[in-house]
């Protein structure tokens, strides 16, 4: 049986003149190995870091910088018009400024003006340049227009300097691109600010021991990644998660339930939606010892109840804010998984509750796994069955339901980008 031919997406990889240009070679490899047709458009200064033969050999297309090359093909218009996605990595402070102000003095900046597809910028520069008011104003302008500007990573920069401004890893940038292409460029969360919690809290008994759970944070991280790829500004409050930070997402690290509550409430006031995917401990030790508890024949630990973070969010919610809870349940003599979920939704008062059955290690929808299945209960009495699949797939369904409940804005959509 002959398989249907897959039509590759047409991707433009813009490369600005920064030392991180060498990392764009790996991004090009990942995009081409995913089956996409990639045209590299470097700036003249980018070629001082990585030469044209490298880009041409890996992409299968010539890499031009000037609008005067192949003039008969009108490349300064054609390349942008025909693209399904434009990604600029690295995007220097100079390139961001030109893009924000509509300057077009080479092939890449002309391409950015003619593109009617999603545009992703992956900035890379020194911390002082990233934090400068001019750069931040340019980033805000680009985001307002519907472009995705990925937050730079923190780490080692050129020379001995370290700080925020490092290019996110090529794998993370490629994931953002693949998600955009898979959704045909629909950016339904542009202009939205969302908060996601992930992982499992730890309640310390002493400096060594703690009460905790097996949550890996994978579902919460999937929610953060998919929201970012749909155009949202994302804050991820992560409790004891050993996963790489998603590109373009602000990550706030916490340990305990009290720390998570404080972080989520501090970020939630100006957010459009909060998704509480973290497994938050219901109880904590009444006393935390400063020294290790010694082994004895018996051990008695008094516990006190932690605050109900979701209930606190409901009580403090702003107008139009959408709140989503997660409920990992097991059935028992008092009721089924779904019955427990329905009761929890009624108690919490949130808009949506994602209910999934959990069990011991190896359970297909349990903690630490790569897949999930759920029933999403809504406050209006409707419910949505999500079959077993990837955690990314569940995340997209959650955001579909959230987006449908958000107050409409005048922000850019795919339709406005295509106009």
- N- to C-terminal Cα separation, the chain: 40
150-160: average pLDDT: 80
Predicted confidence band of residue 190 (pLDDT cuts 50, 70, 90): confident
> Which of 110, 138, 213, 306 is flagged as catalytic?
213
Question: How many alpha carbons fall within 13 Å on the CB side of residue 316?
Answer: 18
**Model confidence pLDDT, tens digit, residues 336-368:** 888 888 998 999 999 999 998 876 554 555 566
What domains are there in the chain, each with its CATH number? Answer: 10-182 (3.40.50.1950), 193-292+302-405 (3.40.50.10300)
138 among known catalytic residues: no
Question: Of 57-66, 78-87, 129-138, 339-348, which has the strongest mean pLDDT?
Answer: 129-138
**Model confidence pLDDT, tens digit, residues 286-306:** 888 888 888 887 878 899 999
DSSP state of 3: P
151-168: average pLDDT: 82
**Model confidence pLDDT, tens digit, residues 116-135:** 888 999 999 999 999 999 99
41-70: average pLDDT: 88
Alpha-carbon distance of 237 to 280, in angstroms, equals: 12
In this predicted structure, the answer to whether residue 413 has a pLDDT above a threshold of 60 is no
Q: What percent of the chain has pLDDT over 70?
A: 90
159-170: average pLDDT: 84
Q: Please, what is the average pLDDT of the chain?
A: 86
In this predicted structure, the answer to whether residue 5 has a pLDDT above a threshold of 70 is no
In this predicted structure, the answer to whether residue 370 has a pLDDT above a threshold of 60 is yes
pLDDT at residue 409, rounded to an integer: 63
Predicted confidence band of residue 45 (pLDDT cuts 50, 70, 90): very high
Predicted confidence band of residue 3 (pLDDT cuts 50, 70, 90): very low
98, 100, 101, 140 from 113: Cα distances, Å: 10, 10, 10, 17
Question: For residues 66 and 298, which has the higher predicted lDDT (pLDDT)?
Answer: 298
70-87: average pLDDT: 75
Predicted confidence band of residue 412 (pLDDT cuts 50, 70, 90): very low
Three-state secondary structure call for residue 274: strand
pLDDT at residue 2, rounded to an integer: 41
pLDDT at residue 185, rounded to an integer: 60
What residues have CB less than 8 Å from 119, skipping those under 6 apart? 85, 86, 87, 88, 112, 146, 147, 148
Of 93, 86, 101, 255, which Cα lies nearest the Cα of 176?
86
**Model confidence pLDDT, tens digit, residues 213-250:** 888 999 999 999 999 888 888 999 999 999 888 877 88
154, 211, 219, 394 from 199: Cα distances, Å: 21, 14, 8, 17
In this predicted structure, the answer to whether residue 149 has a pLDDT above a threshold of 60 is yes
Alpha-carbon distance of 86 to 95, in angstroms, equals: 14
Question: For residues 53 and 154, which has the higher predicted lDDT (pLDDT)?
Answer: 53
pLDDT at residue 23, rounded to an integer: 95
pLDDT at residue 8, rounded to an integer: 76
Our CA dihedral for 268, 272, 278, 283, rounded to 10 degrees, sits at 40
């Amino acid at each position: 049986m002959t398989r249907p031919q897959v039509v590759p997406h047409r991707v433009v990889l813009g490369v600005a003149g920064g030392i991180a240009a060498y990392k764009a070679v790996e991004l090009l490899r990942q995009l081409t190995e995913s089956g996409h047709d990639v045209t590299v458009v470097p700036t003249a200064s980018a070629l001082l870091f990585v030469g044209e033969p490298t880009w041409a050999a890996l992409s299968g297309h010539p890499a031009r910088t000037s609008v005067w090359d192949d003039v008969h093909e009108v490349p300064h218009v054609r390349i942008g018009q025909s693209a399904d996605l434009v990604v600029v990595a690295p995007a220097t402070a100079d390139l961001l400024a030109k893009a924000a102000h509509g300057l077009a003095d080479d092939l890449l900046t002309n391409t950015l003006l003619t593109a009617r597809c999603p545009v992703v910028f992956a900035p890379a520069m020194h911390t002082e340049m990233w934090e400068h008011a001019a750069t931040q104003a340019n980033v805000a302008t680009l985001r307002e227009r519907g472009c995705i500007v990925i937050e730079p990573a923190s780490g080692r920069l050129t020379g001995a300097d370290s700080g925020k401004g490092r290019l996110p890893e090529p794998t993370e940038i490629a994931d953002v691109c693949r998600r955009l292409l898979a959704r045909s460029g629909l950016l339904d969360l542009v202009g939205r600010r969302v908060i996601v919690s992930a992982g499992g809290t730890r309640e310390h008994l002493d400096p060594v021991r703690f009460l905790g759970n097996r949550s890996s944070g994978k579902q919460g991280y999937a929610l953060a990644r998919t929201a970012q790829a749909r155009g949202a500004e994302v804050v991820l409050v992560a409790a004891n998660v050993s996963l790489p930070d998603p590109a373009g997402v602000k990550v706030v690290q916490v340990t305990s339930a009290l720390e998570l509550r404080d972080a989520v409430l501090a970020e939630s006031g100006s957010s459009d939606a909060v998704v509480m995917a973290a497994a938050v401990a219901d109880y904590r030790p009444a006393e935390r010892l400063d020294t290790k508890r010694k082994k004895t024949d018996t051990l008695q630990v008094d516990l006190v109840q932690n605050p109900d973070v979701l209930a606190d969010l409901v009580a403090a919610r702003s107008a139009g804010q959408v709140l989503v809870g997660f409920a990992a349940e097991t059935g028992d003599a008092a009721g089924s998984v779904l019955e427990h979920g329905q009761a929890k939704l009624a108690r919490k008062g949130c808009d949506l509750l994602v209910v999934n059955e959990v069990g011991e290690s190896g359970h297909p929808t349990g903690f630490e796994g790569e897949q999930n299945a759920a029933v999403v209960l809504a406050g209006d009495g409707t419910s949505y069955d999500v079959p077993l699949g990837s955690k990314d797939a569940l995340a997209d369904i959650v955001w579909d339901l959230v987006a449908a409940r958000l107050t409409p804005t005048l922000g850019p959509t795919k339709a406005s980008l295509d106009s």
